[in-house]
Structure 1
Amino acid sequence: MWFEKSSQEIIKEFNTDVVNGLSSEEALIRREKYGPNKLAEKKEQSILKLLFEQINDVLIYILLGAAVISALLKEISDAVIIVIIVVLNAIIGLIQESKAEKALEALKKLSFPKALVKRNGQIMEISSEDVVVGDIVILEAGKYIPCDLRLIETANLKIEESALTGESVPSQKYAENILKSENIALGDQRNMAFMSTMVTYGRGVGVAVAVGMDTEIGKIAKMLEENKKNSTPLQIKLAQLGKMLGFVVLIICLLMFVVAVIQKRDLFEMFLTAISLAVAAIPEGLPAMVTIVLAVGVQRMIKKNAIIRKLPAIETLGSVNIICSDKTGTLTQNKMTVTRFYADGVLNDISYLDMNNRVHSALVKDMVLCSDATYSEDSRTGDPTEIALLELGVKFNIYKDNENELHSRVDEIPFDSDRKLMTTLNKFGDKYNIITKGAVDNLIKICKSIYANGNMVPFTEELKSKVTAASDSMSNDALRVLGTAFRVVDSTEIEIDSMESDLTFVGLVGMIDPPRENVEKSIEECRKSGIRTVMITGDHKNTAFAIAKELGIAEDSSQVVSGYEFNKLSGSEIEDKIDNLRVFARVSPEHKVNIVRALKKRGNIVSMTGDGVNDAPSLKAADIGVAMGITGTDVAKGASDMILTDDNFSTIVEAVKEGRNIYNNIRKSIVFLLSCNIGEIIALFIGIVLGWPAVLRPIHLLWVNLITDSLPALALGVEPDDPDIMKEKPRDAKKGLFSGKSGVFLIGNGILIGVITLAAFYIGNTIYPNSLMHAQTMAFVVLSVSQLFYTLSIRHSEKSIFEIGIFTNKYLVGAIVLGIVMVNMVIMIPFLASVFKAFRLTLNDWLFVFLLSIIPFILNELGKLIYRKLEKK
């Protein structure tokens, strides 16, 4: 067992180097030998099984039964056509689902957790899939453990292992050896860290001893198999709609059959017609269409630096009306630069730092030593604030590696968001320095002396007010302010709890993180589209307000509140003020959750950004949790719905825009399909009630269903982005798919398509009273072609097709042309014409059916024109 061996034995056994790690060549050899560091995926289903799933439907079984009956009654052509159409529908569904699955698999790969390892003498971030046995892995708070590790170095390391051991409290970890015993449970192996658990506190270093299925979590994974498919709320709604529609259609089919019996029609013909209508009217293609449109949307969003982890997020994005954004790295560049300092009683520009002044020198050295970041010309790893401090040191020839050699770190208290402090214990000759850095207000409380004019003096209230004034001065200029203090002790025998006390205040540094390019423009775009931007930051109120004002988020200081002040507000006060607040400063993780809940309570749909371990609760609480892809911890990413690969606020706005367009496109496809289905039901049912011969043959219905349920609907689903989408207000999440104009539009067009199909049949039957086939063919062409032309007018609810451009959606134009060609093939090719019992239309017939077919398109375009004129008035 790995935990029984000493760290030296482990290092020797895996032939690794603690200082330099593995070489790239050795890592590649080991990856080929042991395979990728990931759990085995479930076996892919065979094509035949997937094909069977496509036809595993009661209505399809009834249709196949009808084909068998047709064959027995020697109606071979009907039987063959039914079977061909069923197979074609299944293949189209299979292709769509396959594309969606591939898109989602690509998405999973993109969201693979990262791991920090030593390779070629450098610390680098790699995909956890590429970790190999023998790798030296660096652990930090907020990171998932990429594989099973034998720890060789720890500093106050705690790991949350509930996913593996069931323990609710994080386990304290040590690098020390454990005495051999037969009864040591996983939870008691204190020198081990296991795959898929998470670091909650401190840091550590470990040697990878097991990867992939050889890990403890891998052993559990062998016993599990996940077959569940997740459906989005929209897909669930559509499934319910399909069931309801199916119930209605079956009743209509039953009524048709009863009427046929009363009218003494051909019962077999009516049986086939009823079944065909049921299959045609129920939009089985909807779930597959929604899946493929969502999957294509996910891929488009990946190209725009937004990874959607959960498909329902796409639907919710269109309703977002508040974006709560972290300041650092999202609204700003995350490239902190120290510009001012305060030391020895003087506030000045950083260029006036004098390394010959021992207070100035101590300020820079302490800031460099009390840091977990690493810095070199080739790489920078760690918090941007700490990297800025290391860059400050480099500017004055003070390098962290050199300082660490001279003043090695013996102990530390890691930074946490409640204390807002970090403390290290460093060796200085035969003594030790406690060095603390962090937020000024917290630091002042634990200091009893200060440097003034080169001398150490008591930290009086007057001197404290001077430090506070210097800090406020920098904060007013939108600078982030950090202070440092120290105390000399004789040995390392010091209680952790007493380290941060009786310190000597050294000085302050002020740094700025400039706004990102295009962020101001994105915030203005949000404002115009009814989306409020709210800044949530750990900075002081003055700093936060300065940046918010520059970006156009806030106009007045009354729109800024601290987390502490917000928590003191009563419920009624929050309700009164929340709509006016734009900046929440000095917030803790608990404040963030309360802010999100307060905004949601007002009926808002809230998006929330975060990157740290403690941001996970607020990301979960928000309607859309957005994690940072670059600076974000694995925990934050795991709790999020969306990950920004560039940590940029503008990407959130692009994602909202994309989400709105995707939802609109899905709605267009659904309205189109249901309108067509209503048209088919009306044409057949009214025709039978009026006592007419069958308006359409069963195979006509199935052919129309094949044409309109596949390519045109999908083409509408990938409609190009509407450039004016952000001029609209956010969609009300409580409203249904068919609220407002959509419901009227759907039913109105369904009736219109049904009526012109009936008109084509009636006029055809009147002109050619001795040729039922002639009239049925005219009805068949009008039903098919009118639906194809109708797709052009459904592309935008208000804009004319001539405004958006006929050829801007080339897929739709192709689908329309292909649909018309397929209808023509059925009529013009003698073999197909005999199978479909279609009549070869004359030139006058074609002119007539074309004029009828274009009516829905013309009326819809006229309706848009009238609507726009009325709206202007």
Structure 2
Amino acid sequence: MWFNKNIENVLQELNVDAATGLSDAEVSKRLEIYGHNKLKAQQRKSVIRMFLEQMNDWLIYVLMAAVIITIFLSEYIDAVIILAVIIINAVLGVYQELKANKAIEALQKMSSPKSLLRRNGQVVEVEADNIVPGDIIILETGRFVGADLRLIEDANLQIEESALTGESVPAEKKAHAVAEDPETPLGDRENMAFMSTMVTYGRGTGVAVETGMNTEIGKIADIIENEAQEKTPLEKRLDELGKTLGFIAIGICVLIFILSWVQGRDLAEMFLTSVSLAVASIPEGLAAIVAVVLSIGVTQMSKRNAIIKRLPAVETLGSVNIICSDKTGTLTQNKMTVVKYFTSEGVVKIDRHSDRVSNTAALLTTGMILASDATYEDGKGTGDPTEIALLAMGDTLQIDRKQLNEQYSRENELAFDSDRKLMSTLVKNGNKYRVFTKGAIGSLLDISTHYLVNGEHVPMTEDYKKQIKAEAGKMSDEALRTLGLAYREAGSYQESDELERDLTFVGFVGMIDPPREEVKPSIALAKSAGITTIMITGDHKNTAFAIGKDLGIADDINTAITGKEFDKIPEAELAEKVKDYRIYARVSPEHKVKIVRGLKANGNIVSMTGDGVNDAPSLNAADIGVAMGITGTDVAKGAADMILTDDNFSTIVKAIEQGRNIYNNIKKSVIFLLTCNLGEVIAMFVSLLIGWQAPLIATQLLWINLITDSLPAIALGMDPGDPDVMKDKPRPPKESFFANGAGLQAILGGLLIGGLTIVAYWYGYYEHGYAPHDADVPADVLEYARTMAFMVLVCSQLFYALAIRSRTKLIVKIGVFSNKVLIGAIVAGIGLQLLVMLIPFMRDAFKLQMLDSKGWLMAIGLGLVPLLLAELHKLFIKKKPA
């Protein structure tokens, strides 16, 4: 490990002189050995391959068989419709895939700036992809780091590493530090700088030790590339359903054909009937219905600040029972904020609405502002996040910073040094000079001779020091970062080496990256819905726990664990142990992926939120990866399934609610389709089994299938959301469409609809003085009986769509017209039926007869029975979640 070696050993191992750098000849040799300093391009699928992969699905196989059968039956319109469904579904899938999985490209863009190098004894600027191990790289404020470096020089060097480590403040670097522990976390490697991070303060020099895919960011790219893309729960269920329906369809064809052969029927006619029934038993509109419902859900969610990249991910949200969230920028504001300050007057919480502060507090704030190099205007700042927070504190306490800067001029300064941990400035106001020194409290107390108490400069005593340190310790326990201030009046200009002496200690401030205001109630709502929130962050354990406790994620420090501690858990116990923790601190990208996989191994559906490059692998590994749209990196957005345009944690909870409702709607459509198709199969099979003529012919079956498998099913998928859906616990990931009585509902509904169709068929004979088993039945009577069956089957299915909207709530409670699309679909279906009946050439084409008044009353009456019985059943069952 490079961070475990001293500078001399590193330079010797890389065979380079830090003063001159590599020669051009040596660079050429190393380029051949190590390759260019860029990330390996992800192998892209061709559009044709993506299209074919979309076709590799059991339901698609069944639909393709349906196309062949309908062409064989000369039903070309049906064949075209089914084929269009298949193609549209595949095109939608390809479109979504083309938009997604761009994480590697985003990483490549991030890692290609220019760098300052020392080569041939001269400083030159080169493209970062030409850096090789052994190159001497010069770091300046504002420059990106071009490779992973072992630092060899530093001057107050600070590097913004939040995209890799998750820490909200820049990391201070020490070139001469040597880490003894080979498992030192990424954020604690003080002598290293990493590719694609940015220098925010100071300067330094480093030697490139890793390039390209061997860098820390390269390892992330490798994890993303090699992470297998799993099917969503919905995709798995539809795949299983497709297989089941395929076998059922084949079974129906064979069974009816054998039955017809045994009974001595016309085999040619019965072959057409059996394959027509097989086609009718397959809900060929299901794929299109799911695509339409998901697309509608995507549109609705985009209006609620959640952009979905993969359609099935909408439904997966409804199954989520664990949300793994990054801390910085997701649960917190990613903005250091001063929340308390301490002076001899005590601890004061900062309140925007407080009265004017005391003179001591004003002096504390003034000194913090004047000893700062940051800028902050209109809510936007530049410079060190800590100093920006101090300027914002001045605004909150109504200190006029503009007037201060006009009143005081900076005459001299002593820059921050990581050894001293102090920064001092000499300012002038008129003819008066004043020194302000800010920094670590311990360092300030060492050089402070007095303490400002009630406006008086009293000698600093050990008791005062103990009191100050005790208060600072309390703030540290709350995960606040403390920064102190001391000052003295100077009679004249002071040299830099004279500034930090004989100071009077004024006080200190406590700052933190605070939680977002809306996060806490969202976590509580998620908890009430059976969803556990887990924090996974690169920050320190105490800081993470303090935030987690405040948000209600954890209330016991024992539920927090560091990455170093996590590594000690045996692989065999991982899946069991991950259930015990709510906060994971000081973790690496590899840890995050390992945690997500451990949670998934327990059967959980895991959502992972994040915004940094370090979050990308875990976003990719989770069932649902959620990236921040405002603060999120392109890498995180590319790896995620969903992007929050408002960076609001509460949007995730709203999206989960939407996902649950979408799944419920898809389930309604599936149960409705299978109920209707089962009714058709029962009516046909029972009639043939008892020796009757087939109650429906092939063209009638296909027509019924066209009406009921399209508009009503789609309309059910557009049902308004259930306001009580978040009162339910998360749906088990392996739960089928037929769980919780839905399968029994489909069977009973199918039996009822099939039975009523048989009754209507019998009544058609009975009305004309015949029975279905009579030998010499006139053709027009047979057609009349089939017309009765035809009308009742369609009417019962269309009206039953109203009842299936909820298994427990009456249609009057839901609102008959609350789903106007469904009402329109029912009206349209009945209208099409009437057209077939009333237009003579269509009536003849379908071999139907005009019904008399008794026939119409019977058809409408029997058609309403499934709806009425379903509503009566709801009155007598114990109320359960819809």
Q: What TM-score do you get using the length of structure 1 for normalisation?
A: 0.67
Q: Which has the larger radius of gyration?
A: 2
Gaps of 5+ in 1: 1-38, 68-81, 115-127, 129-141, 177-185, 189-196, 206-227, 414-420, 430-434, 492-503
Alpha-carbon offset, residue 725 of structure 1: 0.2
Determine the C-alpha separation between the residues in 2 that align with 1:762 and 1:523: 60
> Any residues of structure 2 matched to 1:111-190 within 5 Å, and which?
145=109
- Residues 306 and 540 of structure 1: is their aligned pair in 2 closer, same or farther, counting only changes over 3 Å? same
Partner of 2:797: 787
Partner of 1:58: 65
Range with greater deviation from structure 2 (568-577 or 823-832): 568-577
Determine the C-alpha separation between the residues in 2 that align with 1:865 and 1:99: 42
Determine the C-alpha separation between the residues in 2 that align with 1:634 and 1:737: 37
Alpha-carbon offset, residue 619 of structure 1: 3.5
Alpha-carbon offset, residue 330 of structure 1: 4.2
Partner of 2:251: 251
Determine the C-alpha separation between the residues in 1 that align with 2:302 and 2:127: 31
Alpha-carbon offset, residue 305 of structure 1: 1.1
Partner of 2:631: 631
Q: Match of 2:860, as an amino acid? A: F
Determine the C-alpha separation between the residues in 2 that align with 1:422 and 1:581: 38
Instruction: Encode CA deviations 1:566-589: one digit per residue, 9 max, x unaligned.
Output: 649978999999767656677776
Alignment partner of 1:738: what SS? coil
Range with greater deviation from structure 2 (725-734 or 311-320): 311-320
Determine the C-alpha separation between the residues in 1 that align with 2:445 and 2:738: 68
Partner of 2:674: 674
> Any residues of structure 2 matched to 1:443-592 within 5 Å, and which?
449=446, 451=448, 453=450, 468-474=469-475, 480-483=480-483, 508-511=508-511, 516=516, 518-535=518-535, 552-553=552-553, 556-557=555-556, 561=560, 563=562, 567=566
Range with greater deviation from structure 2 (520-529 or 735-744): 520-529
Alignment partner of 2:197: what SS? strand
Q: Match of 1:522, as an amino acid? A: S
> Any residues of structure 2 matched to 1:71-82 within 5 Å, and which?
82=75
- Residues 143 and 400 of structure 1: is their aligned pair in 2 closer, same or farther, counting only changes over 3 Å? farther
Alpha-carbon offset, residue 561 of structure 1: 3.6
Instruction: Encode CA deviations 1:404-437: one digit per residue, 9 max, x unaligned.
Output: 9999999999xxxxxxx999999999xxxxx998
Determine the C-alpha separation between the residues in 2 that align with 1:307 and 1:623: 16
Alpha-carbon offset, residue 449 of structure 1: 4.8
Q: Does structure 1 conserve the Cα–Cα contact (< 8 Å) formed by 2:102 and 2:635?
A: no
Alpha-carbon offset, residue 684 of structure 1: 1.3
Alignment partner of 1:530: what SS? coil
Alpha-carbon offset, residue 604 of structure 1: 3.9
Name the count of aligned residue pairs.
707
Range with greater deviation from structure 2 (246-255 or 465-474): 465-474
RMSD: 5.7
> Within the alignment, does 1:742 sit opposite 2:742 as a pair?
yes
Determine the C-alpha separation between the residues in 2 that align with 1:361 and 1:518: 32
> Any residues of structure 2 matched to 1:600-615 within 5 Å, and which?
600=600, 603-615=603-615
Determine the C-alpha separation between the residues in 2 that align with 1:652 and 1:793: 31
Alpha-carbon offset, residue 761 of structure 1: 0.9
Determine the C-alpha separation between the residues in 2 that align with 1:720 and 1:285: 21
Instruction: Encode CA deviations 1:235-261: one digit per residue, 9 max, x unaligned.
Output: 353244223322222232122223323
- Residues 507 and 291 of structure 1: is their aligned pair in 2 closer, same or farther, counting only changes over 3 Å? farther
Q: Does structure 2 conserve the Cα–Cα contact (< 8 Å) formed by 1:563 and 1:591?
A: no
Partner of 1:286: 286
Alpha-carbon offset, residue 651 of structure 1: 0.8
Q: Does structure 2 conserve the Cα–Cα contact (< 8 Å) formed by 1:100 and 1:291?
A: no
Q: Does structure 1 conserve the Cα–Cα contact (< 8 Å) formed by 2:330 and 2:610?
A: no
Range with greater deviation from structure 2 (700-709 or 315-324): 315-324
Determine the C-alpha separation between the residues in 2 that align with 1:408 and 1:310: 55
Alignment partner of 1:453: what SS? strand
Determine the C-alpha separation between the residues in 2 that align with 1:170 and 1:746: 70
- Residues 464 and 300 of structure 1: is their aligned pair in 2 closer, same or farther, counting only changes over 3 Å? farther
Alpha-carbon offset, residue 700 of structure 1: 0.7
Determine the C-alpha separation between the residues in 1 that align with 2:872 and 2:551: 43
Alignment partner of 1:806: what SS? coil
Alpha-carbon offset, residue 314 of structure 1: 2.5
Determine the C-alpha separation between the residues in 1 that align with 2:544 and 2:749: 53
Q: Match of 1:86, as an amino acid? A: A
Q: Match of 1:202, as an amino acid? A: M
Q: Does structure 2 conserve the Cα–Cα contact (< 8 Å) formed by 1:683 and 1:757?
A: yes
Alpha-carbon offset, residue 300 of structure 1: 1.3
- Residues 708 and 735 of structure 1: is their aligned pair in 2 closer, same or farther, counting only changes over 3 Å? same
Q: Does structure 1 conserve the Cα–Cα contact (< 8 Å) formed by 2:541 and 2:562?
A: no
Higher relative contact order (CA 8 A, sep 6+): 2
Determine the C-alpha separation between the residues in 2 that align with 1:404 and 1:289: 70
Instruction: Encode CA deviations 1:594-635: one digit per residue, 9 max, x unaligned.
Output: 665665565543333322333334444544332222222233
Q: Match of 1:563, as an amino acid? A: T
- Residues 472 and 861 of structure 1: is their aligned pair in 2 closer, same or farther, counting only changes over 3 Å? farther
Q: Match of 2:300, as an amino acid? A: R
- Residues 41 and 573 of structure 1: is their aligned pair in 2 closer, same or farther, counting only changes over 3 Å? closer
Partner of 2:76: 83
- Residues 606 and 231 of structure 1: is their aligned pair in 2 closer, same or farther, counting only changes over 3 Å? closer
> Within the alignment, does 1:846 sit opposite 2:856 as a pair?
yes
Q: Does structure 1 conserve the Cα–Cα contact (< 8 Å) formed by 2:592 and 2:618?
A: yes
Q: Does structure 1 conserve the Cα–Cα contact (< 8 Å) formed by 2:695 and 2:786?
A: yes
Instruction: Encode CA deviations 1:684-728: one digit per residue, 9 max, x unaligned.
Output: 122222211121011111111111111111111111110000111
Q: Match of 1:265, as an amino acid? A: R
Determine the C-alpha separation between the residues in 2 that align with 1:158 and 1:59: 65
Alignment partner of 2:693: what SS? coil
Partner of 2:715: 715
Partner of 1:134: none
Partner of 1:201: 197
Range with greater deviation from structure 2 (724-733 or 387-396): 387-396
> Within the alignment, does 1:273 sit opposite 2:270 as a pair?
no
> Any residues of structure 2 matched to 1:716-735 within 5 Å, and which?
716-735=716-735
Determine the C-alpha separation between the residues in 1 that align with 2:809 and 2:791: 28
Determine the C-alpha separation between the residues in 2 that align with 1:806 and 1:483: 64
Instruction: Encode CA deviations 1:324-348: one digit per residue, 9 max, x unaligned.
Output: 4455554555665424345899866
- Residues 718 and 202 of structure 1: is their aligned pair in 2 closer, same or farther, counting only changes over 3 Å? same
Partner of 2:262: 262
Instruction: Encode CA deviations 1:446-500: one digit per residue, 9 max, x unaligned.
Output: 9995545389xxx999998666533343356x673244799x9999xxxxxxxxx
> Within the alignment, does 1:705 sit opposite 2:705 as a pair?
yes
Q: Does structure 1 conserve the Cα–Cα contact (< 8 Å) formed by 2:233 and 2:733?
A: no
Determine the C-alpha separation between the residues in 1 that align with 2:438 and 2:412: 15
Q: Does structure 1 conserve the Cα–Cα contact (< 8 Å) formed by 2:63 and 2:86?
A: no
Q: What TM-score do you get using the length of structure 2 for normalisation?
A: 0.66
Instruction: Encode CA deviations 1:61-94: one digit per residue, 9 max, x unaligned.
Output: 2321222xxxxxxxxxxxxxx2233334445666
Determine the C-alpha separation between the residues in 1 that align with 2:823 and 2:578: 49
> Within the alignment, does 1:813 sit opposite 2:810 as a pair?
no
Q: Percent identity?
A: 45
Determine the C-alpha separation between the residues in 2 that align with 1:360 and 1:801: 64
Alignment partner of 1:145: what SS? helix
- Residues 386 and 820 of structure 1: is their aligned pair in 2 closer, same or farther, counting only changes over 3 Å? farther
Q: Does structure 1 conserve the Cα–Cα contact (< 8 Å) formed by 2:675 and 2:749?
A: yes
Instruction: Encode CA deviations 1:112-157: one digit per residue, 9 max, x unaligned.
Output: 999xxxxxxxxxxxxx9xxxxxxxxxxxxx9762797556899x99
Q: Match of 2:714, as an amino acid? A: L
- Residues 365 and 623 of structure 1: is their aligned pair in 2 closer, same or farther, counting only changes over 3 Å? farther
- Residues 611 and 382 of structure 1: is their aligned pair in 2 closer, same or farther, counting only changes over 3 Å? farther
Alignment partner of 1:323: what SS? strand
Alpha-carbon offset, residue 301 of structure 1: 1.2
- Residues 55 and 544 of structure 1: is their aligned pair in 2 closer, same or farther, counting only changes over 3 Å? closer
Q: Match of 1:777, as an amino acid? A: T
